[in-house]
């Protein structure tokens, strides 16, 4: 039996990020950001781009500002110097905080840049505009930083109760990370695509595979990928309920996005990732994403025509295999490289 024994600074607090109150703020920030971005898309579709200080914008930037301040304070309060921490001179920086701080800073820096972009070039017709994609990247980094931070703290604590709590927190961050990949498909979910339809099945087939393989490899709880896919679905259902309530009191547009169904893909990830070659796991998980969501298109307003499928499906399966290898590589990089025998 082995256990990780991190080297720690002997002075100051050695509390993990959850006890320091940092991970809960990061979790709320990821949740608020995901709500805010879909709220903003619905707002723009039906209400236009009326002002920079719209309610969705205020939610996104306020939550990101709070997360940034908390993560910066976290660098001062986190006194651990484990093998996971990044050394910068005499400082030991928590990698989860580094990723989250960079992501939130990216969102906040490019918020005024996005405003200038609109003033110079007019209103964007797509979510895939340069400034929007940079903002989505920053928000992705928030959830990924939360996942990394949770996993690092999970490896450093020896308290079984704390370990169990952090295991489920990692599932939450994985669910929000799936949600951020879903944001890239939002204009198809709202049925206002500005780009060819084949991108929808292509990205929906391939993108979720990264997170599903990553969390299945880390396996913080049994059937972790299934739990993450379930968490993603619950978040999207809550979002749909919020948009319905907000639109009824004129606080949101009336457009509602379709919700991707990823539960069966999560089950496939849990069953295959540790038992099959990665290329096969990626193909099966991606194909499961495609088939389940193709069946949903048959009863929804989303339309995948034959031409889109001819190109979108094969390309999506290639992306799924690449995502499976990437997810597995990230999972392996998060695991400890050095252990000592537990006598």
Reported as a single tens digit per residue, the pLDDT across 80-109 is: 777 788 887 777 888 999 999 999 999 998
Instruction: Point out which residues pair with 2 in neighbouring strands.
Output: 341
Query: What pLDDT does 337 receive?
Result: 58
Domain match, 220 and 306 both? yes
Domain match, 1 and 119 both? yes
CA distance 6 to 148: 16
3-state secondary structure the chain: CEECCCCCCCCCCCCCCCCCCHHHHHHHHHHHHHHHHHHHHHHHHHHCCCCCCCHHHHHHHHHHHHHHHHHHHHHHHCCCCCCCCEEECCEEECHHHHHHHHHHHHHHHHHHHHHHHHHHHCCCCCCCCHHHHHHHHHHHHHHHHHHHHHHHHHHHCCCHHHHHHHHHHHHHHHHHHHHHHHHCCHHHHCCCCCCCCCHHHHHHHHHHHHHHHHHHHHCCCCCHHHHHHHHHHHHHHHHHHHHHHHHHCCCCCCCCCCCCCCHHHHHHHHHHCCCCCHHHHHHHHHHHHHHHHHHHHCCCCCCCCHHHHHHHHHHHHHHHHHHHHHHHHHHHHHCCCCCEECC
Looking up tokens 């704390």 gives 162
Instruction: Among 234-238, 247-251, 288-292, name the one with the lowest average pLDDT.
Output: 247-251
pTM for the predicted model, two decimal places:
0.88
Domain match, 177 and 241 both? no
Query: What pLDDT does 125 receive?
Result: 65
Domain boundary among 184, 214, 235: 184
Tokens representing 161 are 């109760």
Query: What pLDDT does 306 receive?
Result: 84
Looking up tokens 């990089």 gives 333
Query: What pLDDT does 307 receive?
Result: 82
| Residue 292 falls inside a structural domain | yes
pLDDT at 189 over 80: yes
Round the average pLDDT of the chain to a whole number and report it.
85
Query: What pLDDT does 2 receive?
Result: 36
Domain match, 11 and 133 both? yes
Do residues 33 and 142 lie in contact, with contact meaning Cβ atoms separated by under 8 Å? yes
pLDDT at 193 over 60: yes
| Residue 343 falls inside a structural domain | no
Domain match, 21 and 163 both? yes
Nearest-Å Rg of the Cα atoms of the chain is 20
Instruction: Among 11-20, 175-184, 212-221, 245-254, name the one with the lowest average pLDDT.
Output: 11-20
Domain match, 227 and 303 both? yes
CA distance 64 to 139: 9
Domain boundary among 132, 158, 184: 184
pLDDT at 171 over 70: yes
Domain boundary among 152, 184, 216: 184
Domain match, 111 and 154 both? yes
> 140: pLDDT confidence band, cut at 50, 70 and 90?
very high
Domain match, 271 and 132 both? no
* Domain that residue 223 falls in: 194-338
Name which residue leads in pLDDT, 194 or 125.
194
| Residue 31 falls inside a structural domain | yes
Domain match, 179 and 209 both? no
Report which of 326, 100, 294 is spatially closest to residue 201, judged by C-alpha positions. Answer: 294
pLDDT at 1 over 60: no
| Residue 189 falls inside a structural domain | no
| Residue 267 falls inside a structural domain | yes
What is the number of structural domains in the chain? 2
Query: What pLDDT does 207 receive?
Result: 94
> 270: pLDDT confidence band, cut at 50, 70 and 90?
very high
Looking up tokens 């292509």 gives 202
Domain match, 255 and 293 both? yes
| Residue 41 falls inside a structural domain | yes
Query: What pLDDT does 80 receive?
Result: 74
Q: Is 85 exposed, middle or buried (0-12, 13-18, 19+ CB in 10 A)?
A: buried
pLDDT at 10 over 70: no
pLDDT at 112 over 90: no
pLDDT at 342 over 60: no
Domain match, 121 and 246 both? no
**Percent of the chain, pLDDT > 90?**
47
Domain match, 315 and 207 both? yes
| Residue 256 falls inside a structural domain | yes
CA distance 223 to 244: 32
Name which residue leads in pLDDT, 117 or 316.
316
The most confident of the ranges 186-195, 269-278, 294-303 is: 269-278
Tokens representing 181 are 């990949």
> 336: pLDDT confidence band, cut at 50, 70 and 90?
low
């Amino acid at each position: 039996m082995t256990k990780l024994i991190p080297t720690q600074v002997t002075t100051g607090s050695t509390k993990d990020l959850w006890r320091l109150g940092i991970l809960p703020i990061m979790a709320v920030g990821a949740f608020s950001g995901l709500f805010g971005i879909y709220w903003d898309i619905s707002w723009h579709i039906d209400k236009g781009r009326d002002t920079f200080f719209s309610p969705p914008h205020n939610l996104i930037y306020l939550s990101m500002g709070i997360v940034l301040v908390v993560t910066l304070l976290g660098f001062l309060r986190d006194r651990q110097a484990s093998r996971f921490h990044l050394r910068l001179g005499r400082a030991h920086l928590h990698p989860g905080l580094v990723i989250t701080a960079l992501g939130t800073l990216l969102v906040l820096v490019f918020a005024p840049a996005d405003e200038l972009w609109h003033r110079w070039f007019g209103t964007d017709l797509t979510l895939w505009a340069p400034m929007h994609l940079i903002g989505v990247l920053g928000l992705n980094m928030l959830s990924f930083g939360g996942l990394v931070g949770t996993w690092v703290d999970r490896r450093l604590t020896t308290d079984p109760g704390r370990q169990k709590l952090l295991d489920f927190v990692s599932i939450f961050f994985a669910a929000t990370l799936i949600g951020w990949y879903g944001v890239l498909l939002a204009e198809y979910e709202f049925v206002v695509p500005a780009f060819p339809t084949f991108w929808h099945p292509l990205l929906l087939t391939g993108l979720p595979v990264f997170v599903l393989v990553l969390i299945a490899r880390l396996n913080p709880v049994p059937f972790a990928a299934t739990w993450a896919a379930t968490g993603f679905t619950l978040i999207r259902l809550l979002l749909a309920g919020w948009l319905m309530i907000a639109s009824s009191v004129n606080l949101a547009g009336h457009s509602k996005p379709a919700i991707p169904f990823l539960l069966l893909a999560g089950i496939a990830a849990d069953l295959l990732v540790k038992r099959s070659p990665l290329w096969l796991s990626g193909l099966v998980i991606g194909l499961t994403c495609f088939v389940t969501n193709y069946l949903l298109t048959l009863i929804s307003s989303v339309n995948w025509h034959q031409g889109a499928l001819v190109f979108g499906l094969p390309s999506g399966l290639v992306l799924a295999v690449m995502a499976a290898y990437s997810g597995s590589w990230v999972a392996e990089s998060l695991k400890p490289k050095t252990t000592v025998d537990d006598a």
